Amino acid sequence: MSAERIAERPATAGVQYVEVGAERAGQRLDNFLLGQLKDLPRPHVYRILRTGEVRVNGRRAKPDYRVQAGDQVRLPPLQRAPASDRAAPPPGLMGEIAGRILYEDDRLLAVNKPAGLAVHSGTGVAYGLVDVLRALRPHCPDLNLVHRLDRETSGCLVVAKTRADLLLLNRAFANRACGKVYMALTAGHWAQPHTVLRQALDVAHREQGERTVRVDDAHGQAAVSRFQEVERLPGASLMRVAIDTGRTHQIRVHASAAGHALAGDDRYGDRDFNRRMARLGLRRLALHAAELLLPLGDGKPLRFKAPLPADLTQILAALRTSTPDA
């Protein structure tokens, strides 16, 4: 029997009560709900949390509340599409993602995410990478993302197959025990081949209703990015970026604040540089998660590597024969 069960009490007008099982204790409420309501769009789950329609033991609770064994979670009446009406990932995409799996065992799966594919379904997004992986591995009901990549970022991404391993890896990321290395194409030439940026980031800042991260050493969260020059190109630089923290848009904001915005960045980028890159054929953010090191606490850490994708290697080839003002 599942540890989460509908409590033996009447459900009124579609209201349901879910009892938290012992193995879910300590999980954030929003993540608990996302696991319970996998067929609902992510924004919908956060909306019912924000409006107070979800209650824990009869009280409103914030998304970051840590559920406890025995908690009674009230779910409001939810309009769910029949299973036959839900968008299923197309077979072609499932085949592509199956061919991008870098590593798999009974605990986790690592995949080389393509640019342009969101990690989650949501508003205007019928299915995300995690939906594709769940369709590929229907025997893994607890399959969940350990971390995230922006939609336009390609590269290494890991999902856990069990609740225990999800918690283990979440702690490893929170404790900065995981190694993360990206490749980024940036504007101009850096003054030093190796630059460490320690600038706090305000990830809650909003401009015109949208979350826009900015450097704010007074109120932001600590963030460290280590930029290492790999190749100096006409008017641009290919950089290896190791991050000690994993703040939202961290590399993009740090690079922009340093005067070397990422190519193809339509939020923090350099408009003239982006136009030049577009003329060379760039159609997305030039950021790729190249390496990921995971400590699992039972021996040698796992290291995953994803080669630079064809679209970015083609841009580099075009840059090498271009002029800075092309």
The single-letter code of the amino acid at 245 is: T
Q: Which domain holds residue 100?
A: 90-167
For residues 97 and 169, the model is more confident at 97
Record the pTM: 0.79
| Contact call for residues 24 and 163 (beta carbons, < 8 A) | yes
What is the CATH classification number for the domain harbouring 108? 3.30.2350.10
Nearest to 286 by CA among 263, 309, 253: 263
**For the chain, what is the mean pLDDT?**
87
For residues 166 and 111, the model is more confident at 111
- Let me know whether 304 and 180 are in one domain: yes
pLDDT of res. 326: 61
pLDDT of res. 44: 80
In a domain, 7, yes or no: no
Nearest to 151 by CA among 185, 102, 117, 193: 117
- Let me know whether 232 and 310 are in one domain: yes
pLDDT of res. 6: 42
- Let me know whether 101 and 196 are in one domain: no
Nearest to 121 by CA among 111, 112, 133: 133
Catalytic: 270? Answer: no
The pLDDT-based confidence of 309 (bands split at 50, 70, 90) is: very high
In a domain, 127, yes or no: yes
Phi and psi at 314, nearest 5°, equal -70, -40
- Let me know whether 70 and 114 are in one domain: no
* Mean pLDDT for the stretch of residues 12-36: 79
What is the CATH classification number for the domain harbouring 61? 3.10.290.10
* Mean pLDDT for the stretch of residues 47-64: 89
pLDDT of res. 297: 62
For residues 173 and 112, the model is more confident at 112
SS percent in the chain: helix, strand, coil, step 5? 25, 30, 50
Q: Which of the residue ranges 46-60, 199-213, 264-278 has the most confident prediction, judged by mean pLDDT?
A: 264-278
If one counts the domains in the chain, the total is 3
Active-site hit among 30, 64, 150, 216: 150
